[in-house]
Amino acid sequence: MKKCILALALTGLLFSCDSFSGDSSGNSSTGTGGSMARFACIGDHLYVVDESFLQTFDISDSTKIVRTSRIVSNWNNSIETIFPADSLLFLGSTSGMYIYNLKDPATPKFVYLYTHVVSCDPVVVQGKYAYVTLRTEHDTWSCNRGVDQLEVIDLSKINAPKNVGTYPMVNPRGLGIDGNHLFICDGMDLLVMDATDPLALTEIKRIELDGTPYDVIAKNGILTLSYSSGLKQYAYSNDTIQEISTIY
């Protein structure tokens, strides 16, 4: 496991990037992050997104970080999230999902824009499917014409993604997926769904929380949940999920 401690003057953050094997071949590594993140680590590169730019930094030498690209936005609406999967970057925006190719990791190349109604939009990807939550946020102008739902998008043809499933939600935010488990921060609940068949998701459990959930990270049977009251951890397996810790 490689750990890079990066002092990013551009963002004013001290960012810790723990990376792990990103595929079964062990040829790539990806920073562990949630679906609401605005930065991602893949191998020796850090990707940072805001409303104006997608920037790439070479972090192979953490004492000498070098910016390798700075792509000026041609986005019609706000970019909110970034999620890496295989050799692709998925950017969630208020108007759709932007896909970038990382064949040259130092310089991402635009591939496709999957559009939807104006709405706040986190995204996660597993295999050939992307899972996107669309949210109406009445106190945020950029999302106030949206809908509250989960969309499943088939990425088999990366130049022509298509919606293969839509599920109504209460007010979804961040989400995460690990194997057959899909976790969604929905309203005041943690929603657990069975994603064994991405074309026919089913609900396993809805857990009521004592605060508003924002985002989750799911990995190796452990779920970390950030919410308005603090942090929670859960252990999950098959159809069972159990809380194991809470930090207020």
Q: What is the pLDDT of residues 135-170, one digit of tens each?
A: 886 544 455 556 899 999 999 999 999 999 999 999
pLDDT band for position 9 (cuts 50, 70, 90): very low
**pLDDT at site 143:** 53
pLDDT band for position 80 (cuts 50, 70, 90): confident
What average pLDDT does the segment 224-242 reach? 94
More confident residue, 43 or 179: 179
Closest CA relative to residue 42, chosen from 79, 12, 14, 2? 2
CA atoms of 126 and 162, how far apart (whole Å): 15
The strand pair at 123-126 and 129-134 is best described as antiparallel
Tell me the three-class secondary structure of the chain, residue by residue: CEEEEEEECCCCEEEEEEEEECCCCCCCEEECCCCCCCEEEECCEEEEECCCEEEEEECCCCCCCEEEEEEECCCCCCEEEEEEECCEEEEEECCEEEEEECCCCCCCEEEEEEECCCCECCEEEECCEEEEEEECCCCCHHHCCCCCEEEEEECCCCCCCEEEEEEECCCEEEEEEECCEEEEEECCEEEEEECCCCCCCEEEEEEECCCCEEEEEEECCEEEEEECCEEEEEEEECCEEEEEEEEC
Contact indicator for 217, 202 with CB cutoff of 8 Å: no
**pLDDT at site 176:** 95
pLDDT at 204 over 60: yes
Share of the chain above pLDDT 70, in %: 78
Q: What is the pLDDT of residues 17-56, one digit of tens each?
A: 544 333 333 344 444 567 777 888 888 999 998 877 899 9
Please name the amino acid found at residue 132. V
pLDDT band for position 15 (cuts 50, 70, 90): very low
**pLDDT at site 24:** 33
pLDDT at 184 over 70: yes
**pLDDT at site 94:** 74
Tokens, residue 47 = 């990707």
Q: What is the pLDDT of residues 83-125, one digit of tens each?
A: 888 889 998 877 788 899 999 999 999 999 888 655 667 889 9
pTM of the model: 0.80
